[in-house]
Structure 1
């Protein structure tokens, strides 16, 4: 069943526009700060799953209506003044868990920006399979707050707006496989703070590193050229990310995320090598394979292959031109 990605963005000139601050939820909003309200709101929808990002220029109070039966996981992206949710003081990249059918009260004392994902509680079983402390729906039934580590906070708050910006440009052209990859990437970006905050898992002896890497290879063999997110592999093999990281460093000397990036780069190289410049663009192929920033993608690509993506794509066109032109020898015979 096809699940297209739908992206909508709009500018806001009043606090009333934040009533749908989280797609699918109704939020009561009251302006607290003095001044002309200015803001923006973006929604990404993939089936019943959604990502919402909003920003506003003055302080507001938000209250979520408890009739919403979906799980909401929110992240503060930035704030000029104090932000509190329930009794939790929030800092940028902090994550808040809002269980289904739960009232929520948030106070933003100044200009702020946030992100929130909304999903069915039953989905956490498949999205976090391999992470036993997160794959149990019961783990998400309590209001909770996770403090962001300073080492990941900047990257976390920057990644989500970039994802929305890139998906807005290519939403109609993305395959089902790409849509699932980006859904997992969004969940990963929002919940990375939670993963980082959890203590090491000590469920028993680790599986053989070589055997585990081999199982990853076997699984990737079945997926073809489509992008595969690390959470998908953890779910398929029922292992935690920490286990996977240790295994890959032991066997290959690099982490699984770097390994998967190289696999995606190789897949892109194969697609570009076999494509005509007039039929595809580098940007289209990059987003289908899970790359947001073209500049960073080009850097990764050139570092691995010592050529630019456009050079790989242009080679097929140059070859076609050469093959369409008769050689000098053929021209001489033709003139006789």
Structure 2
């Protein structure tokens, strides 16, 4: 969706500060337009150059998605205070042989000061995220991801990796929220979800062994996680938030919830949030809080998917839940 579809000139102007779609007929103009990167693109294919560049700003985290019709060589670097994680994938869905062979995606992580030169074939799509190096270091420190200051390294995301699929879908999902990006709460929630997907994919790619823990430790991790979720009704923590706050890696958190709750931490968090919305609906009259307001308080901004999840979980639509003060 193009930002020009906004409902009003004022909102359109606000939205364009968070989302843009640009089309280029010159490779170098394209390369120099990606936020937080200093790049030169060189076209090495015959033909008229055409490309698109989509960028989304989530208050300091920049997601980009680009596609060119010609083979190009990308030469560039990262701004000193930033890091970048980027990958290339075919424009069309991966075929069965790629998935079955477990082939990896061409991807990399680089810090400010690092440079690169990559050849990207025409028709390939490049996606990536740039963010503050200080924020990256703060979040990655308790998670055990083996990164070093000033490091530039290749990362092998597997085609059939669940975490990498979630990350790719997360980038795509951002485009579905364009018309709501002028709302700070929406940006904050999307930011959390994207950060969670980033570090999940990085940690899955790391494949580091972790020590076994006792059931009591697992139980303590789950209990502390629950306290954090219920203690933040206006800002429900993501899985990454829990890992950072509890200073445990995602694998340990996952194992704890599997052993104690029989489900993943993300499933647990979602059910807690759905249950919290239901409690609001049951405890506050409809005249004082609408369903959409109750849902938004717990991070659900799209009523369609929220209502479907709510119905699957509770066996009724939120509109069918008996509100406080209504007759039985």
Give the alignment of 1:129-148 within 5 angstroms.
129-134=141-146, 138=148, 141-148=151-158
Q: Is the alpha carbon distance of 1:95 and 1:139 closer, same or farther for their aligned partners in structure 2, counting shifts above 3 Å?
A: farther
Question: What is the CA–CA distance in structure 2 between the aligned matches of 1:317 and 1:205, rounded to whole Å?
Answer: 44
Match of 1:169 in 2: 179
Aligned residue pairs total 299
Q: How far apart are 1:23 and its partner, in Å?
A: 1.2
Q: Does 1:255 align with 2:264?
A: yes
Q: Does 1:189 align with 2:197?
A: yes
- For residue 12 of structure 1, give the secondary structure of its aligned residue in structure 2: strand
Q: How far apart are 1:236 and its partner, in Å?
A: 0.5
**Uncovered stretches (5+) of structure 1, i.e. residues with no partner:** 81-90, 323-336
Q: Does 1:226 align with 2:243?
A: no
Question: What is the CA–CA distance in structure 2 between the aligned matches of 1:78 and 1:285, rounded to whole Å?
Answer: 41
Match of 1:307 in 2: 316
Match of 2:86 in 1: 74
- Give the structure with higher Rg (CA): 1
Question: What is the CA–CA distance in structure 2 between the aligned matches of 1:213 and 1:180, rounded to whole Å?
Answer: 24
Q: Is the alpha carbon distance of 1:139 and 1:65 closer, same or farther for their aligned partners in structure 2, counting shifts above 3 Å?
A: closer
Match of 2:255 in 1: 246
- For residue 196 of structure 1, give the secondary structure of its aligned residue in structure 2: helix
Q: How far apart are 1:280 and its partner, in Å?
A: 6.0
Match of 2:96 in 1: none
Question: What is the CA–CA distance in structure 2 between the aligned matches of 1:275 and 1:169, rounded to whole Å?
Answer: 29
Q: Is the alpha carbon distance of 1:151 and 1:277 closer, same or farther for their aligned partners in structure 2, counting shifts above 3 Å?
A: farther
**Uncovered stretches (5+) of structure 2, i.e. residues with no partner:** 1-13, 93-102
Q: How far apart are 1:68 and its partner, in Å?
A: 4.3
- For residue 261 of structure 1, give the secondary structure of its aligned residue in structure 2: helix
Q: Is the alpha carbon distance of 1:65 and 1:251 closer, same or farther for their aligned partners in structure 2, counting shifts above 3 Å?
A: closer
Per-residue Cα deviation, 1:157-183 (whole angstroms, up to 9, x for no partner): 2331212331x12112232xx544422
Give me the TM-score of the superposition, normalised by structure 1: 0.75
Contact conserved, 2:257 with 2:263, CA < 8 A, in 1?
Answer: yes
Match of 1:331 in 2: none
Match of 2:8 in 1: none
Match of 2:37 in 1: 25
Q: How far apart are 1:215 and its partner, in Å?
A: 1.0
